[in-house]
């Protein structure tokens, strides 16, 4: 993991963390059925990381440029209420969401992987990218994970945030309390 010196301090303030889909929650590969249905593969490690953030009181959003039914289903499965698909201006959508939730930009983060994500990432107090994100994005992100998109990068970012907020041990505690 490659983190800027102030990454943990900025992560400590987060009340909302938003994520791109293709290249972040997935590896960026697009599958289409013969009927034209878009299919994506999601990582369960990432999904649990998103649930850990939510249980710790951090709102989670998905803001993506593409639109696919499978993303809607995954968001429902994870209890993510803030889903925005087919978005041309991710920063404008984030600004509207922040106003609705009463959250300042400094208390928001975004994880993206490509140059189209830079405007929203740079508008946030915290930003992250998968280890296989575009090099320009990695240069501007506060956190670059070891893992790639769709392969645990989101989980790594979620745990970084929880650790920065002093909540990671509590998030993991229920799994360590099992009888032996």
Structural domains for the chain: 2-166 (3.40.50.1000)
Whole-angstrom distance, CA of residue 152 vs CA of residue 23: 11
| 100 to 53, 97, 104, 106, 143: CA distances (angstroms) | 20, 5, 11, 15, 27
Whole-angstrom distance, CA of residue 98 vs CA of residue 85: 17
Whole-angstrom distance, CA of residue 95 vs CA of residue 31: 31
Helical (H) or strand (E) element with 147:
none
Q: What is the pLDDT of residue 177?
A: 80
Residues 84 and 105: beta-carbon distance below 8 Å: no
Residues 6+ apart with CB under 8 A from 28: 22, 113, 149, 150
Whole-angstrom distance, CA of residue 157 vs CA of residue 38: 26
138: its two tokens: 């990695």
Whole-angstrom distance, CA of residue 63 vs CA of residue 19: 6
Give mean pLDDT in consecutive 10-residue pieces for the chain, a chain of 180 residues: 94 98 96 93 97 98 96 97 97 98 98 98 98 98 98 98 97 82
Find, among 15, 18, 20, 10, the residue nearest to 40 by Cα: 20
Q: Where are the alpha helices (DSSP H) in 13-89?
A: 44-55, 69-78
């Amino acid at each position: 993991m490659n983190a800027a010196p102030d990454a943990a301090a900025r992560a400590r303030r987060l009340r909302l963390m938003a994520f791109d889909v293709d290249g972040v929650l997935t590896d960026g590969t697009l599958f289409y059925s013969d009927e034209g249905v878009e299919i994506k593969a999601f990582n369960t490690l990432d999904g649990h990381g998103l649930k850990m953030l939510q249980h710790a009181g951090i709102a989670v959003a998905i803001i993506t440029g593409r639109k696919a039914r499978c993303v809607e289903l995954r968001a429902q499965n994870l209890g993510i209420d803030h889903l925005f698909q087919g978005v041309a201006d991710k920063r404008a959508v984030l600004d509207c969401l922040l106003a609705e939730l009463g959250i300042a930009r400094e208390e928001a983060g975004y994880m993206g992987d490509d140059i189209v994500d830079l405007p929203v990432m740079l508008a946030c107090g915290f930003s992250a990218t998968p280890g296989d994100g575009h090099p320009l994005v990695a240069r501007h992100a506060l956190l670059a994970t070891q893992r790639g998109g769709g392969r645990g990068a989101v989980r790594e970012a979620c745990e970084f945030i929880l650790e920065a907020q002093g909540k990671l041990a509590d998030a993991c505690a229920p799994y360590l309390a099992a009888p032996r």
